[in-house]
Amino acid sequence: MRFENKVVLVTGSSSGIGEETARLFAAEGAKVVVNSATSVTVGEAVAASLPEAIYVQADVSDAEASAALIDATIDHHGRLDVLINNAGVTAVIPHPDLEAVTDEIFTRILDVNVLGTFRLTRLAMPHLRATGDGSVVNVTSLAGLRPTGSSIPYAASKAALNHLTVLLANVSGPEVRVNAVAPGLIRTPWTAEWDTLHDAVSHIAPLKRSGEADEVAQAIVDVAASRYMTGQVVSVDGGLTLR
């Protein structure tokens, strides 16, 4: 098992891609810290179903909560080997409707998706460096690579996160690797009602279907395990970026 006795923190892991990622790390021997900002009962249930896992509620856009999340991880497990920045928020707003994109909406999305990710990584970095083999994986999006996505603020936040990945990788070695995984359209609770989009992907993407959360989780775990990869954004989109 690639992560035996290693400690892995997965933010936003009470459902969807985050939950599948937490489960796969646990199957690989990791001690997982499950996290969510809300859905506490669900998050606790996920942690209870995994060996040696704990659940910590924290909104990564909150500085004090983020610090408490890292502290709880270290207090319980004594170390942190891998950070998966999966927590994210969006707003479903058609791109042409600029008037609907308020400052409040834009700020909230950036606070979670970009600043929250940076802050948590900054807090985690001393502990990751201490292992000599730390790994950070940011979960971004195809929307950060192409003019698509649920809203302009969401797409812009994921584009920023892609570049943040590169910037952090450039200053975090050799002790810590920083990479990103950029999913395309994936079947999760977020996208459960997006039948039209799922149908479109089944016709457009070379693999002729939307992805599943466990398929993205597999990529995240593989990237986290890679010993000679850093500063990379790996698309997991069924080939949509080829179109």
User: Using one digit for the tens of pLDDT, what is the confidence trace for 25-83?
Assistant: 999 999 999 999 999 999 999 999 999 999 999 999 999 999 999 999 999 999 999 99
Domain that holds residue 26: 7-236
pLDDT band for position 243 (cuts 50, 70, 90) = confident
Asked if residue 16 belongs to a domain, the reply is yes
Active-site position among 154, 177, 178, 219: 154
If DSSP codes are grouped into helix, strand and coil, which group holds residue 209? coil
CATH of the domain at 135: 3.40.50.720
The number of distinct structural domains making up the chain is 1
Asked if residue 1 belongs to a domain, the reply is no
Q: Which helix (H) or strand (E) segment is 68 a member of?
A: helix 63-77
Query: Cα 75–217–93 angle (5° rounding)?
Result: 100
- Residue 228: active-site member: no
pLDDT of residue 202: 72
Neighbours of 174 (CB within 10 A): 9
Asked if residue 44 belongs to a domain, the reply is yes
User: Using one digit for the tens of pLDDT, what is the confidence trace for 86-108?
Assistant: 999 999 999 999 999 999 999 99
User: Using one digit for the tens of pLDDT, what is the confidence trace for 152-203?
Assistant: 999 999 999 999 999 999 999 999 999 999 998 888 877 766 777 777 777 7
pLDDT of residue 27: 98
Token pair, residue 185, equals 């359209």
Residues paired with residue 83 on neighbouring β-strands, in sequence order: 9, 136
Token pair, residue 131, equals 């292992």
